[in-house]
Amino acid sequence: MKLISILRIALVVLLALGCRHELPYTDNSKDAELYAQNVRSLVLGLAETARASNEPQVQIKLIVTELSHDDRPFGPYKDVYSELLTASRTILDRCQPGNGRPDIRKELDQLTSAARKLPEKKS
């Protein structure tokens, strides 16, 4: 009887050890390609929302905030990020409170055009 209890415990322990399958951790915080893909999605989505918004500066400010960080993995896309940041700041300058709703379609087109220079997310 005692032998059966010991075998049961041993079986449970072996099953528990055999079922431990963890995915390996991959640190993507320094991956310039993944960051570029995320920025592309972010900018295109926020620019589209800004086109329809009565307060486009809210969306554009999010882009400026993200691209103003200097600890991101810019990689070979540093010039594109600079172009995105410049276009975003131009839009913010044009959307000052009290100025009404300026026509920023041209600037939003420039912003989305620059974002499309970044790689697309892979499925």
Query: Residue-wise pLDDT tens for the chain (123 aa)?
Result: 677 777 677 666 666 666 555 556 666 678 999 999 999 999 999 999 999 988 899 999 999 999 999 899 999 999 999 999 999 999 999 887 766 678 899 999 999 999 999 999 876
Residue 122: inside a domain: no
- Cβ contacts of 48-51, under 8 Å, gap ≥ 24: 48/112, 50/91, 50/104, 50/108, 51/105, 51/108
Alpha-helix runs per DSSP H in 1-123: 2-18, 32-52, 56-67, 78-94, 105-115
Residue 35: inside a domain: yes
| Distance, CA of 57 to CA of 63 (rounded, Å) | 10
State the pTM of this model. 0.75
Residue 19: inside a domain: no
Range of the structural domain that residue 52 is part of? 29-115
* Number of domains present in the structure of the chain: 1
Residue 11: inside a domain: no
